[in-house]
């Protein structure tokens, strides 16, 4: 099979898996040529298919594998990224049905919204903070199209880095007024504390993840644009979602966001 065929075949299979709520096997076993570079081409194609079918548009980016523990688990030395579409955004306060998902999980994140372009190859934490209009608490709902959430990096990247839906708190904060690195967070599931920590859980500083993304995108001729939303990576382990679950991500100085799930 020539490369463009592989890109189209895998993208279509992932698109159908999400649409039909059916998990698939890892692709690396079937396609030994599937490496990270090819995986990002597949991700691009998959996102194009969704834009077309759902009449939606790109609104930003998400980061994955931003913690050392996650990277070691996957045998990689850097994060991964995926694309956020308008059709993925949920409104705070609206109950979310779990019926469209295969086996969804929820993660607490810090969202950055830009008011200036960030273009690599030398974007720094200071550049990110200077280009950020505001930050807000967020919850990302990840879902994998692979059986048992088991995949390699190339598989996950192809699958738009396990992205599914996201919700951003409706109160926005100037990043100059909070120390994102030291900012504490509490993540609760049904009122019980599931995780605590600080912003530094994401690459030592959440803005470092955004800088990494800008520099990585530069390698493929892309940049971060004004108005885009960037989910900077999960601050804790992802928690499985069941009907009736309620997740709250609270951050010192920037409030909280809550997601409630139904059948």
d(CA 76, CA 64): 12
Is pLDDT at 174 greater than 90 in this prediction?
Answer: yes
d(CA 206, CA 66): 9
Classified as helix, coil or strand, 221 is coil
Residue pair 212/203 in contact by the 8 Å Cβ criterion: yes
What pLDDT does residue 56 have? 98
Is pLDDT at 70 greater than 90 in this prediction?
Answer: no
d(CA 4, CA 218): 23
Q: What share of the chain is helix, strand, coil (3-state, %, to 5)?
A: 30, 30, 35
Query: Over the stretch 113-126, which tens digit does the pLDDT of each residue have?
Result: 999 999 999 999 99
Residue pair 193/236 in contact by the 8 Å Cβ criterion: no
Residue owning tokens 């996201």: 166
Q: What percent of the chain has pLDDT over 90?
A: 92
Which two tokens mark 174?
């100037």
Q: How far is CA 194 from the centre of its chain?
A: 20
CA proximity to 65, closest of 188, 153, 196: 153
Report DSSP state, residue 182: T
Report DSSP state, residue 263: -
The alpha helices in 78-150, defined as continuous H runs, are 125-131
Residue pair 164/82 in contact by the 8 Å Cβ criterion: no
The alpha helices in the chain, defined as continuous H runs, are 3-20, 36-54, 68-74, 125-131, 153-158, 206-218
Residue pair 129/175 in contact by the 8 Å Cβ criterion: yes
Query: Over the stretch 182-229, which tens digit does the pLDDT of each residue have?
Result: 999 999 999 999 999 999 999 999 999 999 999 999 999 999 999 999
C-alpha separations of 231 from 121, 145, 146, 167 in Å: 20, 20, 22, 10
d(CA 38, CA 33): 8
Model confidence, pTM: 0.96
């Amino acid at each position: 099979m020539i490369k463009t065929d592989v890109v189209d075949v895998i993208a279509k299979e992932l698109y159908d898996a999400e649409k039909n709520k059916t998990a698939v096997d890892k692709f690396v076993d079937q396609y030994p040529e599937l490496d990270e570079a090819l995986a990002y081409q597949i991700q691009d194609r998959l996102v194009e298919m969704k834009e077309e079918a759902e009449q939606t548009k790109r609104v930003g980016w998400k980061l994955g594998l931003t913690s050392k523990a996650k990277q070691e688990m996957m045998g990689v030395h850097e994060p991964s990224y995926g694309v956020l579409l308008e059709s993925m955004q949920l409104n705070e306060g609206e109950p979310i049905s779990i019926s469209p998902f295969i086996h969804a999980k929820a993660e607490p994140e810090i969202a950055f919204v830009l008011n200036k372009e960030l273009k690599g190859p030398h974007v720094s934490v200071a550049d990110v903070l200077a280009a950020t209009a505001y930050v807000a608490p967020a919850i990302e709902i990840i879902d994998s199209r692979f059986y048992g959430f088991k995949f390699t990096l190339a598989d996950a990247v192809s699958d738009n880095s396990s992205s599914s839906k996201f919700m951003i708190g409706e109160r926005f904060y100037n990043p100059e007024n909070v120390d994102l690195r030291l900012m504490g967070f509490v993540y609760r599931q049904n009122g019980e504390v599931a995780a605590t920590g600080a912003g530094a859980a994401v690459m030592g500083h959440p803005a470092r993840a955004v800088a990494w993304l800008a520099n990585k995108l530069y390698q493929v001729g892309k940049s971060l644009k004004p108005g885009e939303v960037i989910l900077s990576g999960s601050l804790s382990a992802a928690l499985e979602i069941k009907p009736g679950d309620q997740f709250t991500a609270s951050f010192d100085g920037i409030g909280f966001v809550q997601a409630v799930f139904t059948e």
